[in-house]
Amino acid sequence: QSVLTQPPSVSGAPGQRVTISCTRSSSYVGAIYDVHWYQQLPGTAPKLLIYANDNRPSGVPDRFSGSKSGTSASLAITGLRAEDEADYYCQSFDGSLSAWVFGGGTKVTVL
């Protein structure tokens, strides 16, 4: 069981908005640190998409946005495009485990 829980999959039609949640598992206690998001296109290495909850690295389209509240975070993709079809992972630092942890990943499908 991952410390961070994500839905296995989400889908949407082109142009729609989808959101991916990232929630600290109830089996673990304490707050979560800043949350970061990565996009992994098929057959490639992960790429940083959002850092420190709601910041986009240079070159990442503003269609991607992040937010965090308490022990949950979310990634939103607006104006969904075919090239957004990928796996998305959230990541944080777990103070109780002293470990860098990832969510289980969410596959985004563009219908």
Which residue ranges make up the site for another protein (CB under 8 A)?
Answer: 2, 33-34, 36, 38, 45-48, 51-52, 57, 89, 91, 93, 98-105
Structure tokens at 95: 């103070």
Q: How far is the CB of 104 from another protein (least distance, A)?
A: 5
Q: Which is nearer to another protein, 50 or 110 (CB)?
A: 50
**b/e sequence 58-90, b meaning 16+ C-beta within 10 Å:** eebeeebbbebeebbbbbebeebeeebebbbbb
Q: Which is nearer to another protein, 13 or 44 (CB)?
A: 44
Q: Which is nearer to another protein, 5 or 71 (CB)?
A: 5
Which 3 state secondary structure label does DSSP give 83? helix
Q: Which is nearer to another protein, 15 or 24 (CB)?
A: 24
Q: How many Cβ atoms sit within 10 Å of the Cβ of residue 53? A: 17
Q: How far is the CB of 15 from another protein (least distance, A)?
A: 29
Backbone phi, then psi, for 5, in 5-degree steps? Answer: -105, 125
